[in-house]
Amino acid sequence: MTGIEYAWSAVGGDPALLPRVSTVLREGALPARLPVRELARACVGACALAAAELGARRAGLAEVPEVRLDDGAIATAFVSERHLLVDGRAPVAFAPLSRFWRTADGWVRTHANYPHHRARLLAALGITQEDPDTLGAALAERSSREVEESVYAAGGLAVALRTPEEWAVHEQAAAVARRPLVEHERLNTARACALPPLDGAPLLPAAGVRVLDLTRVIAGPVATRTLALLGADVLRVDPPHLPELADQHADTGVGKRSATLDLVADRRIFEDLLAAADVVVTGYRPGALDRFGLSAQELAERRPGLIVAQLSAWGAYGPWGGRRGFDSLVQTATGIAAIEGSAERPGALPAQALDHGTGYLLAAAVLRALTERAEQGYGRCVRLALARTAAWLTNQIEPGPAGNVAYDGPDAWLTERDGALGRLRYARSPVSFAGGPDDWSRPPGVWGADPARWV
């Protein structure tokens, strides 16, 4: 089974639609030891086909529009954060304390881009200053597993480097392996929720769909910016005391609106938003939102027919089910960093492909859930995990042909526009089908500046 066949099956797609997909294969796109290009193409392809399917249904088309995949567009979009320019300035992807460090017995990777994570990392190690040399010296005296456990216990983020063999015998790896790539659950609440017909151009499959975006960092925001590209009204809601990193917002906030709400003090406003939402996407660690009554079942009971999409790093199960995580940490734990590195130093994929790939798969699952809801009326909960995508990459995808067209750089898939944040250069979306949109309707606005209401 090819990557696109597997991804399309994972989101519940009809295999008879796969011949609608064509691909421009480009040699040199996302080069790696692992089949990253095939994973990226499969995830984007499943998303584009799900969009074309929903668009055809809503527009009353006789057949699903043709999907066009281009390795160049996909490779460019999978590193969209690296191509972003804001008034000519390139963002900094990782903070100084977010990287690999030598330990007494190996390596550990930390993630400290956010101030609260940085503070917890330093506190766990008894360090009072944000100095890389001081942190490096402290880590060098400890074992990797000791650092991993102590930092996580303090609410920070650090993961010991593991080989594929070491990860394979870990309890979390076993729990992940037992799960499908995309988990589907029918929520036992239903309502009449047919979306209105579409006409005009471009074809926007998600037009009129209201998406409440409760995600952060890359994977979830990539999913919701894709839904925004396809016409959805996406409102991202963040807690006011945890501002998003400015450059990250500029990259993944395109097409959306952004508001802040305190889920306790502003509860009535949030419930008004939920009462009119079609989709809720969450990206916080499993269980983190349950105390606010935001489990999938509780959401569905208050909003029958709702589609809930949940994203996590490690999955909502197993001994690491409640842990925070990011793409770089999942690569480190699951053996990817060891595969892509050398005897001297761990490596990394050419893109944060677990984040981006899972994001497009999440959007595909939401689009297919909208199609199925139109037929049956029932809400759905779909769940994805970066660690499960990592298992797919390392164990199931076969490398494909190199292609006879060279990937000669990103320029053909970059564009510029002015907005509230300044002059932006950014990557176009790789999600493309005949008659569909080729860019977002709006640039990103100022984080948290929009009113917390639907258009």
Catalytic residues: 355
The alpha carbon of residue 66 and the mean position of all alpha carbons in its chain are separated, in whole angstroms, by: 25
Closest Cα to residue 72, out of 361, 405, 415, 416? 405
Give dist(CA 224, CA 218) in Å, integer: 10
Task: Please give the structure tokens belonging to residue 387.
Answer: 């660690």
Closest Cα to residue 35, out of 338, 336, 347? 336
The alpha carbon of residue 250 and the mean position of all alpha carbons in its chain are separated, in whole angstroms, by: 15
Q: Please give the sequence-ordered ranges of beta strands (E in DSSP) within 245-328, or none if there are none.
A: 257-260, 279-282, 307-312
Burial category of 16 from C-beta neighbours within 10 Å (exposed 0-12, middle 13-18, buried 19 and up): exposed
Give dist(CA 420, CA 422) in Å, integer: 6
Torsion 169-171-172-177 (CA) sign: positive
The region, left, alpha or beta by phi > 0 then psi within -120 to 50, assigned to residue 439 is: beta
Closest Cα to residue 327, out of 162, 135, 157, 125? 157
Give dist(CA 192, CA 378) in Å, integer: 9
Cβ(49)–Cβ(5) below 8 Å:
no
Task: Please give the structure tokens belonging to residue 410.
Answer: 């990103």
Reduced to 3 states (helix: H, G, I; strand: E, B; else coil), residue 299 is helix
The alpha carbon of residue 427 and the mean position of all alpha carbons in its chain are separated, in whole angstroms, by: 16
Closest Cα to residue 429, out of 362, 348, 356? 356
Q: How many CB atoms lie within 10 A of CB 350?
A: 18
Q: Which residues of 246-271 are buried (b: 16+ CB within 10 A; e: fewer)?
A: ebbbbbbbbbbbbbbbebeebeebbe
Cβ(35)–Cβ(389) below 8 Å:
no
Give dist(CA 370, CA 392) in Å, integer: 25
Closest Cα to residue 52, out of 13, 2, 3? 13
Task: Please give the structure tokens belonging to residue 226.
Answer: 């894709």
